[in-house]
Structure 1
Amino acid sequence: MSNLKAKATLAAAVVFSSFTIWAVHYQQHQERDNMYQGVLKDDERRREKMKQREEAFQTSQKKREIYESVQTVSKSEAS
């Protein structure tokens, strides 16, 4: 009877240890995926920001062309 309890205890310890190791590896894999998703989101935010800046620059250029066509622009001398 004592031998059976020892084998059951050993089997339970092996199963518990195996599950713990698997859980740690699974958690590391999930964290790695989450961090990679963060990188992808950062890249998308950066592309969107650059797109907005380009649009603002184009708008500014159009305004400048309009103003220069209506007003006389001359360079002022710096003191």
Structure 2
Amino acid sequence: MRQHRAKITLFGAVFLSSLTIWAVHFQQDQERKTMYQGVLRDDERRRAKMKQREENLLDSKRKRELYERTQAVDSATAE
């Protein structure tokens, strides 16, 4: 009977240890995936910001060309 309890205890300890190790690896994998999604969101935000800046720059260039056509601009005062 004693050997039977010892085997059950050993099996239980091995099972719980294995379950704990699996759970930790599973949690790490989930955290890694979550962090990677954050990187993808940051990249998308950065792309959107750069696109907006390019649009603003083009808009500013169009406005400047329009103003220069309607008004005389001295190159010395433009700087």
Q: Could you tell me the TM-score, scaled by structure 2's length?
A: 0.90
1:69 maps to: 69
RMSD: 1.2
- Structure 2 gaps of 5+ residues are none
How big is the shift at 1:55? 0.6
1:47 maps to: 47
How many equivalent pairs are there?
77
1:20 maps to: 20
The share of aligned pairs that are identical, in percent, is: 61
Deviations 1:9-44, CA, capped at 9 Å, x for gaps: 111101100000001111111111112111111110
Match for 2:7: what amino acid? Answer: K
Larger proportion of helix: 2
Match for 2:31: what amino acid? Answer: E
